[in-house]
Structure 1
């Protein structure tokens, strides 16, 4: 399925920004591309209205990789001739070394590496250890007031901790988190579709789906050679084994596995945006075709992929990804 034209935009939460339904991630992406190819991909993406880029400084906790993907991204957008008003930048504030590594210091370094003076919004995560949620809200709100960015969300937080953050922000007149960036895919649904997050979504929280391809496994790269995301619930081998079913369902709709994976995420009623990595122009174009699949068969997708929900009764719906198995504390 081929898509032409501009991608639609949705609001990322009732109080969040208007964003394109697709955004391009940066982890292990820009540093795997030749500069000319990356420039062409960015130009083509922005030409379709895909102008949201999730860019982080990966040098904290398990991401202490000394990666330069953010530096490369900054060089690529400049080489592509984009002005800062041409794209939306979503940054990261890491909790791994917080508060020892302050958010103010983190955002200053991160933006300097990209080569800009502000982000449009940021994500605070991953949630680890004994984090003072109220202090996180206070510190992030200070950065909003200082003009570093205008909105924020979280990733890998439990629904309970996120509820505390939103209630505290409301009570204190601070800036609340307006969206959650969550692992969400054909195989991983327990947290985004569970009742605890469901209550937050009903209250206006937006969903930003990430890791939608399981590091490539859900699109046929069954044994990725690069580092990929965590495996809550230990179901990755089951996901590999289920890939033939992904192929069969995709063929039924005359679509590709990537299009099926992306279109499924957009059927979530709270989904404002789907993040994916694309290191080739052909991948971007393939993923854009998910919008055609969604338009033609959106009402049928969930029924056809019901068997692919593999973390049901394995990952607790109320959990953060650090406490993912039933009975774990």
Structure 2
């Protein structure tokens, strides 16, 4: 396992992080989830990402139980706040009330006194940004988080949040966007702004929800037990990539992966790690052996010629429109 600084901060994290969105607390049983977390630790992963909304809090609880007994100083634990965690009107968003209540609930579930990174899971158009950043600053000053970050914010929102955080002397060091060889919407605006500000990307879905493994075939039903068959939410997120034209182009990557001595999944993870603004790629798993495969992408350097050929193959189907970040963001209620 190789390690990188999170943006320009002093925090060092494993360049492959383990995330438990979708799987833990919903798609797989706790014993299987625990086995995956143990496999991640054995593979050298020290960075773990979760969120209060994943499986209605169960994902945080599973992670907390699985990491019990580990040396806390040797781990980097990240979580997030924004999405609804209860039925009340204030059980959502980035108000001071919700942030303060949510960090305490997350810490209880994670069985830790602090998280290394506390992230705004989305931008909240209904709460003044000043209120949000001031609340995050107080979380840091209370010792409940070391750093703060955001997820799926536009370049403009990142700049505004970073400016306020700097005024308050709290370290806003990261953004967590979707990023893969099929979903490149951050490259034109978010990455340049982040690089300028010293913010690193912690990217999710580097394998495009499993599509870049090549296991989904054009014209064929999804494999049994795959993300595309998960009725708890996984199928919804992967559906955007399950077009025959996308799958046909993805199949053309197999010879390139073989040429590089990698599996298609390893090629996909290695691809995102070639971006110097990426601090870590988040992988998930429903089986421990998936972790061992993906971790082998750490430290891989892809040749320029191979990267050009990947670009040529995927150019017709890769999404690069920077407006997609704003299109997928929450909208203020009228």
- Pairwise same-fold verdict (TM > 0.5): yes
| Residue 71 (structure 1) aligned with residue 61 (structure 2) | yes
Aligned residues: 306
Q: Out of 5, 8, 20, which is 1:14 matched to?
A: 8
CA contact (8 A) 1:206 1:271 kept: yes
Check the 8 A contact 2:49/2:77 in 1, yes or no: yes
Distance 2:235 2:173 in 1: 24
**CA, structure 1 residues 177+217, in 2 after alignment: closer, same or farther (shift >3 Å)?**
same
Contact 2:96 2:135 in 1 (8 A): no
Following the alignment from structure 2 to structure 1, what is the Cα–Cα distance between the partners of residues 96 and 144?
20
Structure 2 partner of 1:304: 309
The alignment status of 1:322 with 2:312, answered yes or no, reads: no
TM-score by length of 1: 0.83
1:43-54 → structure 2 map (5 Å cutoff): 43-54=38-49
2:51 is aligned, of 50, 56, 60, to 56
Matches within 5 A, 1:125-274: 125-170=121-166, 172-191=167-186, 193-222=187-216, 223=222, 224-226=228-230, 227-228=233-234, 236-237=242-243, 238-274=245-281
Q: Answer whether contact 1:56 1:91 (CA < 8 A) is retained.
A: yes
Distance 1:323 1:77 in 2: 32
Matched-pair contact (CA < 8 Å) for 2:154–2:326: yes
> What TM-score, normalized by structure 2, do the two folds share?
0.82
SS of corresponding position for 1:91: strand
Deviations 1:55-105 (A, max 9, x none): 2222xxxx6x53522212222222xx4232332210112156222851110
Give yes or no for the alignment of 1:88 onto 2:82.
no
Which of residues 269, 281, 286 in structure 1 aligns to 2:293? Answer: 286
Q: Displacement of 1:196 after TM fit?
A: 4.7
**Shift of residue 239, structure 1, vs aligned partner:** 3.3
Shift of 1:282: 1.1
Whole-angstrom CA distance in 1 between matches of 2:197 and 2:307:
23
Deviations 1:246-287 (A, max 9, x none): 323222323111101100010001111110102212111111
1:19 & 1:119 partners in 2: Cα distance?
A: 13
Seen in structure 2, the aligned counterparts of structure 1 residues 133 and 21 have a Cα distance that, compared at 3 Å, is same
Segments of 5+ residues of structure 1 without an aligned counterpart are 1-6, 325-329
